[in-house]
Amino acid sequence: MFGKANFERCFASCLDEDILKPSQTINSSQCITYNALASRITKNVFVHQVGSTVIAQGVTLLLSLATSAITARWLGPSGKGQLAMIFMVPAMFQMFLGAGLGPANVYYVGSGRLPVHQLTANSVAFSMIGTLVGVMVVLLILMGDFLHVLFPGVSSDYLMLGMVALPIGLLNSNLNSILQGLQRIITLNILTVVGSLLTVLFMAALVIGLEFGILGALLAVLAVQVAMLFATGQCAKREGACFRPKWDSQVVRTTLMYGLKCYIANLLQFFNYRLDVFIVNFILGPVSVGIYGVSVVMAELLWQLPNAASFVIFPKSANSNQEAMNSFTPQVFRIILAITILGAIGLALFGKLIILVVFSSVFLDAYIPLLALLPGVVLLGAGKVLANDIAGRGYPHYNSITSGLSLVVTIILDLILIPKMGVVGAALASTVSYALTFFISVGFYLSVSRIKHVHV
């Protein structure tokens, strides 16, 4: 039998770790055997991580529906709307002030190029600066009496209290990205589910039990965010995190150079996903937005699995050598594409029935736009896998180029097709844009991986 010591030497050699002495040799056939075993283990780990992510997403979705039901029934439309606006402000600031630090953390932790303690110290410093900028902007809005224009009907006191979520959200997001880079996927999924469960429980206690209204809902969310930041911090601490803020110019420059490329790509892709809703509202009105929104929500259900796979494959790509990923990613790509195609066929066959049962007959007009969205959603789902592999290899700027070109196409086609075809035109524009994203991503992937197209 092939002994444990030989297995360890073989496994290390297959991972390109130079630990063997010149006198130590192993049988090549034995190395191939254990290389295959290592490959199977890697695939099993990936499947478990993706599976746990999909399950966590599903549980979180159900718990989010419960939270939404509580706020809708006990706060009413006005209170629910105010709560949404209160938390939209720190969420928007978090998106714009993040500077792509999260993806940079994933990349540099995953690749081992920067240690955890330096990245966490850098993240704490960035979170403090981002919070300061965000609070100053909100204060300027309050001093300039723009609040009633930008956020009509929203209490300024509640808005300022809601800004407490900004430093918590910034730091928690950065710590999560470090755990993602370390491929602690199951830990992150557990934290996500626990956070959603605590939100439901705190909402029930403060909104239903104590009848604190909007203030109760606001305090419930903030309390859960603080608790989850503490829990995430404890997990990061076990990995060597340092929570004393430190401004290291070399670390700042390195992370920003990578992070801003991801930031631009994510920002452009966000507008690519959602700009059509604003154009539909401007041209056709809110009723059409409601119809189109149902189509989008149903179509994007197909992204649950691609999003889970992408979440796992990004740090894996940063942590693995090119040869390993050239073998691994195409397999994931084909599986994701096949499963999303099957899901799209299911939505095409039963989509009208689902709309009727879940949303009522009022929204049946969403079925045709749904059909128009499906081809693009399927292609973009598979493209997400390639885009995250590309980012993990250190080429996030390629994704920025892809997102920018797709956004231009979306805007042009929306302005042409929506006036002529209504929400079906918006769906067709998105499908063309998503398809373009897919094909450009395939081209960039072939370029950075240097593999032949037949392997994809």
pLDDT digits (tens, 9 = 90+) for 271-322: 887 788 878 878 888 778 878 888 888 898 899 889 888 888 888 888 888 8
pLDDT at residue 18 in the model: 37
If you average pLDDT over residues 403-408, what whole number do you get? 93
pLDDT for 450 equals 82
Taking residues 10-32, what's their average pLDDT? 43
What is the mean pLDDT of the segment spanning 26-47? 57
pLDDT score of 99: 81
Report the share of the chain in percent with pLDDT over 90: 38
**Rounded Cα gap, residues 103 and 264, in angstroms:** 12
- The first and second tokens of residue 434, run together, are 């998503």
Query: Quick one: average pLDDT of 23-28?
Result: 47
Q: What's the confidence (pLDDT) of residue 285?
A: 80
* pLDDT at residue 387, rounded to an integer: 93
C-alpha pair distances (Å), 64 with each of 57, 73, 79, 327, 425? 10, 14, 17, 37, 31
User: 403 pLDDT exceeds 50?
Assistant: yes
237 has a pLDDT exceeding 70: yes
pLDDT at 199: 95
Confidence of residue 80 (pLDDT cuts 50, 70, 90): confident
pLDDT of residue 12: 39
16: left (phi over 0), alpha (psi -120 to 50) or beta: left
pTM (two decimals):
0.74
- Distances in Å between the Cα of 101 and the Cα atoms of 125, 178, 248 are 11, 10, 14
Mean pLDDT estimate for the chain: 83
Residue 346 C-beta-side C-alpha neighbours within 13 Å: 12
Residue 154 has pLDDT above 60, yes or no: yes
- Whether the Cβ atoms of residue 333 and residue 389 lie closer than 8 Å to each other: no
Average pLDDT over residues 161-165: 87
pLDDT tens digits, 209-221: 988 988 999 999 9
Q: Which range is least confidently modeled, 9-13, 155-159, 339-343?
A: 9-13
Q: What is the pLDDT of residue 40?
A: 60
pLDDT at 147: 66
Q: Is residue 43's pLDDT more than 70?
A: no
Residue 110's closest CA among 277, 269, 317?
A: 317
Residue 150 confidence (pLDDT): 67
Task: Give the per-residue pLDDT at 282.
Answer: 80
Output the CA angle 89-62-312, nearest 5 degrees: 75
Better-predicted residue by pLDDT, 133 or 29: 133
Give residues with Cβ within 8 angstroms of 288, minimum separation 6.
Answer: 280, 281, 422, 423
Residue 39 in this model has a pLDDT that exceeds 90: no
Cα separation, 355 vs 364, whole angstroms:
6
